[in-house]
Amino acid sequence: MLVLGPLVLPWAGVIVLAAWLAASTVHDRAGRRAGLPPGPHAWALALLALAAARLGFVLQYGREYASAPWAALDIRDGGWAAGWGLLAALLYVLALWLRRHPWRRPVALAAAVGAGLWLAGTGVLQLAQPALPAALPAWQGVALDARPVQLPALQGQPVVVNLWASWCPPCRREMPVLLRAQAEHPQVRFLWVNQGEAPETVIGFAAAHQLPQADVLLDTPSQLGALLGHRALPTTLFFNAQGELAAVRSGELSAATLAQHLALIAPAQALTKP
């Protein structure tokens, strides 16, 4: 995540924006060199690619969106199918070439630059990611039912660790999604680890939102977030049954993006809803 004061931006979004700005610049300059009037293709191509990427993800997780179709428009959940977006961009360029449109060369060049920068940026981002810990971190918290919970002792089952705070709007919005997933997938252990708040605040919030006391942990010094290197809230970490960190989602989860990440830590048949 890119942290700019109170603003926290996902690197993936920053890379997409940078790639589009570069592609748009190439598009405009190539068009001017060819003596063409200003054209809408930079915007049209980007919007088409984004719409196709979102549509591909929504179709893939149609069951999760079926109960709340309007949630498909909320892109804050970070659900995208990149392959669909690239395919849509390719088809757009191909259509211009088949029609021998005067903008075909500038658009093709801009699309190549944008796609190349996005692929390169995504690759660098993957290489720059810190090595995932081999096991659940050696951290112990106290649940609201006063029982201690040691993370390493949970190895043997998939574990989802949600770092949250009551003052965080996206944390509050994703609580019902996590609660439904816990009820639907009892073989997965869900933990809500509060970051930095007083016990009375956490107790009141958990009671109001019907969070299970045995699964809500206190972390007043925000030790776990610092230990894992994730201070942005909400952040959700997905550990498989071997205790390995398989995925991290920084930002709000929807039912679809939660299902996408759960599939990484448990076999598909084990995640089938009862």
Quick one: pLDDT band at residue 6, thresholds 50, 70, 90? very low
Mean pLDDT of the region 198-216 = 95
Q: Is pLDDT at 145 greater than 90 in this prediction? A: yes
Per the CB < 8 A criterion, the answer to whether 101 and 36 are in contact is no
Q: Is pLDDT at 81 greater than 90 in this prediction? A: yes
CB-facing half-sphere around the CA of 194: CA atoms within 13 A: 25
Q: How far apart are CA 207 and CA 203, in angstroms?
A: 6
166-198 tens-digit pLDDT: 999 999 999 999 999 999 999 999 999 999 999
Cis peptide preceding 234, ω within 30 of 0:
yes
Share of the chain above pLDDT 90, in %: 72
Ordered by where they begin, the domains of the chain are 2-128 (no CATH), 140-271 (3.40.30.10)
Q: How far apart are CA 77 and CA 272, in angstroms?
A: 22
What angle in degrees, to the nearest 10, is found between the helix axes of 104-128 and 11-33? 160
Q: What is the pTM of this model?
A: 0.81
